Structure 1
Amino acid sequence: MILYIAEKPSLGRAIADVLPKPHKKGEGFVRAGNGDVVTWCIGHLLEQAEPDAYDPAYKKWTLESLPIVPDQWQLKPKPKTRKQLSVIRKLMKEADQLVHAGDPDREGQLLVDEVIEFIGLPAAKKATIQRCLISDLNPPAVKRALSRLRENRDFIPLSTSALARSRADWLYGMNMTRAYTLQGQKAGYNGVLSVGRVQTPVLGLVVRRDREIEAFQPKPFYEVIAHLVTPDGSRFTAKWQPSEACRPYQDEDGRVLSRPLAENVANRITDKTALLSKLEQKEKQQAAPLPYSLSSLQIDAAKRFGMSAQQVLDGCQALYEKHKLITYPRSDSRYLPVEQHAQAPSVISAINSNCAEFEKAQGMLNPVQKSKAWNDKKVDAHHAIIPTAKNSDLGRLGKTERQIYELVARQYLYQFLPAYRYFETKVEVMIEGGRFTTTARQPLEQGWKILLGKQTPDKDDAEQQTLPALTQGQNLHSERGEVIEKITQPPKYFTDATLLAAMTGISRYVTDSDIRKVLKDTDGLGTEATRAGIIELLFKRGFLSREGKAIRATEAGGGLVDALPDSASKPDMTAHWESQLDAISQKHASYQSFMSPLLGRLNELIAQAVTVVPSSLQGLPSKPVKRRRKRAAGTGTRSRKTTSSKRKQSARDLS
């Protein structure tokens, strides 16, 4: 008997649907007509044990007990899903062959692996486990996945990476939260000060941006525009490019701050001869953007529709599990396996059937075209989010689901449209020793941009002046110079889109140059699957708030950042850890090479925490904590029943 272990019931049902009939449904499993069985987890069936499972003394929060570092890590069954764990245990003993069908990412890999390890499968049987990667729940796609099973042992590095992340989050979050909550009490703050390996640097990004805006002092700067006339009377303008000699009069961004300097340049070039010193004209093209990863989809949906990251994730999950209209959404890849290209005609047909608004591009679509998105070298466990080949009445979808589907569909169709082609002219003009430049872009073929419509603003298509016919070396007349005064603008408050973009491309915010060197452009804070939850968690904890589309830090959020060392609230350390976790999954680093330095750093941070009373939190109201039935949910104050009752937090919450 083959036993398929899926991550969720929805995936389990999708697998069972393609197995031989008749089916016999049991409690927590489906038996196919050929005797094979499909069962499933219900998310994580196991969780990291609480500190008091290692030592009852840890139930009371004390500084003296920190840091808490287990000698032997323990997992415990979740009470609500213990029954399903028993079902899987029984079926595993009966099975001749196991197929791991967790979601195609590192969390899905660990989720089933840890159940197999916890139940204690014999080594010989464990060595034969196969891995099934399913990204599309429609029957044809599930059948293809079942016909292409791989060895589960090939995915050990992915599972090890997820395990290291889980334990790092527990160690860092549990110890730092206890330390700062206890120190916060000394300052009079009676709430739980949740500190996480990922959530706290994200909070730090928002706090620092808010303060940068508050401290911003606007200042005027000046641009000089030359109004030029060609011999045949045509007109155009060019902008002054200050020389190195003007550096003392510029800010760090090269803006001229001296009005007298700008006016002097404008006066000098008025009614003067100008020389067109350089003329570059060439046809260029811009390839279509790649299909979506979850973060890139969340960013676009936030910009276009004002959706939060969590709304996009929830909409994606419904489109994947309930409607089967898109592939697996928790993906960090923007590439597709080459073999998927064979399904392009059927996917395009389904999109055209589902979305009438894309009709204008139908005559231009070329299903044979293969964009750079199809690249096996950049695809492993999961691929980019794309539509499935399923036809559906989109009128049955909710508004959010429909909008997300249309974004995903448009991004896929881009891959089969021509490149956007344009003619670019770059001009350099010399006037009285000064250099003036302008650029013009003339569209030649809209290509994939025909589908943009008004959906997405495109800065490349911003209005530009039309240049007359010009010749390099010709003389022009500088009719007059014009000084334009502008005012520097403060940074913008973070929004869902920009905060997600910051988390995804965190290297821009890393201050340590050595760490920045080892980060890739795609290295970020958290994972595709966790970023939305981390942002929502900071709102839930009362550390962030919304003002329209703007995301702002609360007083408590700012106070917590002030109380922490910079290394805990800046992204450098965590971004480096995320890079190492990725290296583990790519077989470029080991579990021990990640955990040993982390433990050393944790000892330093706890030692630092116990020496500082966070006065920044003094007098701030704490967010009330809901009390649970049967178990006191501590807020940092003493319970009438016990002095050690504290609010418990899962490892996932502590990230």
Structure 2
Amino acid sequence: MGKSLYIAEKPSVAQEFAKALKINGQRKDGYLESEDSVVTWCVGHLVTMSYPEKYDIKYKRWSLDTLPFLPREFKYEVIPGVQKQFNIVKGLLNRPDVETIYVCTDSGREGEYIYRLVAQMAGVKDKEQRRVWIDSQTEEEILRGIREAKELSVYDNLADSAYLRAKEDYLMGINFSRVLTLRYGNNVSNYLNSKYQAISVGRVMTCVLGMVVRREREIRSFVKTPFYRVLSSIALEGEHFDGEWRAVEGSRYFQSPYLYKENGFKEKKHAEELIRMLESEQPLSCRVEKVERKKENKNPPLLFNLAELQNVCSKLFKISPDETLRITQELYEKKLVTYPRTDARVLSSAVAKEIYKNISGLRRYLMIDNAADEILQMGSYKTIAKTRYVNDKQITDHYAIIPTGQGLNVLKSLSQTSQRVYETIVRRFLCIFCPPAVYQKVSLVTEMQKEKFFSGFKVLQEEGYLKYATNSFARKSAADRSQESGKEDSEEASCDVQLLNALQRLKKNDILTVDALNIKEGETSPPKRYNSGSMILAMENAGQLIEDEELRAQIKGSGIGTSATRAEILKKLVSIKYLSLNKKTQVIIPTLLGEMIFDVVNCSIRQLLNPELTASWEKGLTYVAEGSITSQEYMDKLEHFVRVRTAQVEQSNYQYALRQFFDAAAANYKSKPMASRRGGKS
């Protein structure tokens, strides 16, 4: 009888498969073997695309004569440092006694690519190949994945999109980096008085650079505008609250040119004029024109996908997206959470049926007190499939990141930050089984001489899911538990129970005493800089930083990069010194070099800076994976884009125009380039 070969992406994952399969056989060099099974592993990528000079030595020298570089057949090679493990894997894949190959690389586009390249280079033929697709590394899930493994050919479209993604990054990176360097590299290096400067560009990388540079320039050009609001201080049963004047219809200032917005003036003198007019009638009082009371339910947020988790961890722990991914990958490999590289924020209906197992496992997790027991007693998990937290249509490769309920015995051996990331994932998960938080809202309109003042109040009445939302390392009172519930409406003040009860008794036409009318000066705020977390969210949403999760769901699937690659792209931009990341605050700003590269690209291949265009390429890869378009259709479009844009740069001549852009950027950096100070040529 032939043997089954299981090939994992990493040694640690191979060990988990060996344990699940009860392979107690001999450990050999690069694999484990028993009577009927062999388990081996890659070490990440074993095979990569060859550099252009492997096609022809003439391509080693960067020259406009050899561009665009568009090979008919792509060449691949084994990565030198892992040649030994490749040879072991190749030998096993082709061993006569191996009948069935189980592909156990990570369940995603990149994992598919890793295996396909190995099989291609190893020349695998006439073997049954089956794909194991799992969502966690628990023994139960591994065995299910093996049991339900499908023919590898089922994933051919996914593999096609993986090959295309690599070819796209390769062709754009090589052609555009070379052509821009040849045309404008000397401009950059001469200006900076540095050594020869290669200009590094990429499909996603350059777009992200553009987002950061544009935001920085928006902040620089922002001019603060002062404005003046008029507030009434109103007395009510021994309490006080403010009313904000607004120039609504019926006001003397309705649509006046003196207004900044309807609730403020451009100049202080007009606010003072309004107060003088209102103070002409003494004693000061106001009439209740309208009072509205309503309850507002705030539902638990959706579960974590990788982007959402990276954003929250950037805020809570000031760690980079790359570090969040590393930690979550570690939690996954320790069986604590499900697969991290996911874009979905919901569960599948199949998982929902068994979700009580995850909750039950968390009863041993001390950081959440008795939360798991309480949620099991509630019984809401039985109907979770009918809620917005379960939706098969919103899942492509994997469902949201959730705790497995297993692996808790290893948690104490992890770093404090890893433990806290785990707790954050657990609490977000538990919240979806809880009722909404209930707020009592009171909206009030008061009138003074036909001028309207507006007040709004919001009080937490039932904490609902907020009871479990706040991490143990950030304990707050129930009223303050808004970490998971989003920002409070800025127009609504929180108030104590006494004031709320007094407001509840108010009726239309009641007359209230106004203690004073005041002017409150404010000023407009510039756009915020991206931090590492908000940048990941902006990448997920095609360049838009959308805080509202329902809006985000509507444009899902239009992102720049993927959950698996976004952190790495950001890390690369920092490592090549195009961006600067403050490790304490996680705030991202461009460097002078980054701004200069932006100006070069903006003059010559502006399309690379367009988030919508970059997102459309990613969408195209999704269409290939779904089988909606063919690889050839995608490749034809890609080659046309590379050919046209490369020619566009070759024919461009922005050397003199760039100098003024470089000067404008350099003015914002303390140490200006030597060449600039000497009046050197660019």
TM-score normalised by structure 1 residue count: 0.85
Indicate the SS of the match to 2:325.
Answer: helix
Structure-1 separation of matches of 2:66 and 2:562: 31
**What are the Cα deviations for residues 312-346 of structure 1, in whole angstroms up to 9, with x where unaligned?**
1221222222x322222122222222332354344
1:4 aligned to 2:24?
no
**What are the Cα deviations for residues 76-118 of structure 1, in whole angstroms up to 9, with x where unaligned?**
2212223333333333333322322221211112221233344
Higher mean C-alpha deviation, range 370-379 or range 187-196 = 370-379
**Unpaired runs of at least 5, structure 2:** 190-195, 476-481, 667-682
Q: Which residue of 1 aligns with 2:597?
A: 560
1:260–1:604 Cα change, 3 Å: farther
1:39–1:257 Cα change, 3 Å: same
After TM superposition, give the deviation of residue 220 of structure 1 in Å: 0.5
1:597 aligned to 2:637?
yes
**What are the Cα deviations for residues 247-270 of structure 1, in whole angstroms up to 9, with x where unaligned?**
644558986423344334444445
Q: Which residue of 2 aligns with 1:409?
A: 426
Indicate the SS of the match to 1:171.
Answer: helix
Q: Which residue of 1 aligns with 2:678?
A: none
Higher mean C-alpha deviation, range 612-621 or range 253-262 = 612-621
After TM superposition, give the deviation of residue 542 of structure 1 in Å: 1.1
Q: Which residue of 1 aligns with 2:84?
A: 83
After TM superposition, give the deviation of residue 183 of structure 1 in Å: 2.5
Structure-1 separation of matches of 2:43 and 2:77: 15
Q: Which residue of 1 aligns with 2:460?
A: 443
Structure-2 separation of matches of 1:254 and 1:115: 65
Higher mean C-alpha deviation, range 395-404 or range 369-378 = 369-378
Q: Percent identity?
A: 28
Structure-1 separation of matches of 2:301 and 2:221: 37
After TM superposition, give the deviation of residue 491 of structure 1 in Å: 2.2
Amino acid at match of 2:465: W
Higher mean C-alpha deviation, range 189-198 or range 261-270 = 261-270
**Unpaired runs of at least 5, structure 1:** 511-515, 622-655
After TM superposition, give the deviation of residue 561 of structure 1 in Å: 0.6
Match of 1:225 among 228, 231, 237: 231
Alignment of 1:108-507 (within 5 A): 108-122=111-125, 125=127, 129-187=129-187, 189=189, 190-228=196-234, 235-243=240-248, 245-246=254-255, 248-250=257-259, 256-270=265-279, 274=286, 276-321=288-333, 323-359=334-370, 362-364=373-375, 366=378, 368-369=380-381, 370=384, 371-388=387-404, 389-392=406-409, 394-453=411-470, 454=474, 457=483, 458-460=486-488, 463-465=493-495, 466-467=499-500, 468-470=503-505, 473-477=508-512, 479=514, 480-507=516-543
1:241–1:130 Cα change, 3 Å: farther
After TM superposition, give the deviation of residue 618 of structure 1 in Å: 8.9
Alignment of 1:577-592 (within 5 A): 577-592=617-632
**What are the Cα deviations for residues 401-426 of structure 1, in whole angstroms up to 9, with x where unaligned?**
11211111111111222221222223
Structure-2 separation of matches of 1:572 and 1:604: 19
Q: Which residue of 2 aligns with 1:636?
A: none
Structure-1 separation of matches of 2:77 and 2:256: 64
Alignment of 1:525-536 (within 5 A): 525-536=560-571
Structure-2 separation of matches of 1:407 and 1:559: 40
Structure-1 separation of matches of 2:449 and 2:389: 50
After TM superposition, give the deviation of residue 14 of structure 1 in Å: 1.4
Structure-1 separation of matches of 2:607 and 2:513: 55
**What are the Cα deviations for residues 114-158 of structure 1, in whole angstroms up to 9, with x where unaligned?**
333444444x75xx5322112222222212222222343332332
Alignment of 1:9-158 (within 5 A): 9-33=11-35, 35-93=36-94, 94=96, 95-122=98-125, 125=127, 129-158=129-158
Q: Which residue of 1 aligns with 2:680?
A: none
1:234–1:493 Cα change, 3 Å: closer
1:603–1:378 Cα change, 3 Å: same
1:281–1:335 Cα change, 3 Å: same
Contact 1:279/1:471, CA 8 A, preserved across alignment: yes
After TM superposition, give the deviation of residue 506 of structure 1 in Å: 2.6
After TM superposition, give the deviation of residue 12 of structure 1 in Å: 1.9
Indicate the SS of the match to 1:334.
Answer: coil
Structure-1 separation of matches of 2:255 and 2:47: 65
Cα RMSD, aligned residues only: 3.2
After TM superposition, give the deviation of residue 446 of structure 1 in Å: 0.8
Contact 1:135/1:328, CA 8 A, preserved across alignment: yes
Considering Cα pairs closer than 8 Å and 6+ residues apart, tell me whether 1 or 2 has the greater RCO.
1
Indicate the SS of the match to 1:129.
Answer: strand
1:109–1:367 Cα change, 3 Å: farther
**What are the Cα deviations for residues 12-34 of structure 1, in whole angstroms up to 9, with x where unaligned?**
2211212244423333322233x
Structure-2 separation of matches of 1:260 and 1:620: 39
**What are the Cα deviations for residues 535-573 of structure 1, in whole angstroms up to 9, with x where unaligned?**
111111011223442322111111111111232234232
Contact 1:187/1:618, CA 8 A, preserved across alignment: no
Structure-1 separation of matches of 2:553 and 2:374: 45
Indicate the SS of the match to 1:96.
Answer: strand
**What are the Cα deviations for residues 409-448 of structure 1, in whole angstroms up to 9, with x where unaligned?**
1111112222212222233445444443332222121111
Structure-2 separation of matches of 1:587 and 1:339: 24
Contact 1:332/1:384, CA 8 A, preserved across alignment: yes
Contact 1:302/1:497, CA 8 A, preserved across alignment: yes
1:395–1:102 Cα change, 3 Å: closer
1:568–1:380 Cα change, 3 Å: closer
After TM superposition, give the deviation of residue 62 of structure 1 in Å: 0.8
**What are the Cα deviations for residues 54-80 of structure 1, in whole angstroms up to 9, with x where unaligned?**
222111001222221111122222122
Contact 1:344/1:367, CA 8 A, preserved across alignment: no
After TM superposition, give the deviation of residue 239 of structure 1 in Å: 2.1
1:617–1:262 Cα change, 3 Å: closer
Indicate the SS of the match to 2:504.
Answer: coil
Amino acid at match of 2:639: L
Q: Which residue of 2 aligns with 1:624?
A: none
**What are the Cα deviations for residues 203-224 of structure 1, in whole angstroms up to 9, with x where unaligned?**
1222222222222222211222
1:506–1:437 Cα change, 3 Å: farther
1:461–1:430 Cα change, 3 Å: closer
Q: Number of paired residues?
A: 610
After TM superposition, give the deviation of residue 620 of structure 1 in Å: 11
Indicate the SS of the match to 2:324.
Answer: helix
Indicate the SS of the match to 1:528.
Answer: coil
Amino acid at match of 2:213: V
Indicate the SS of the match to 2:53.
Answer: helix
Amino acid at match of 2:537: A
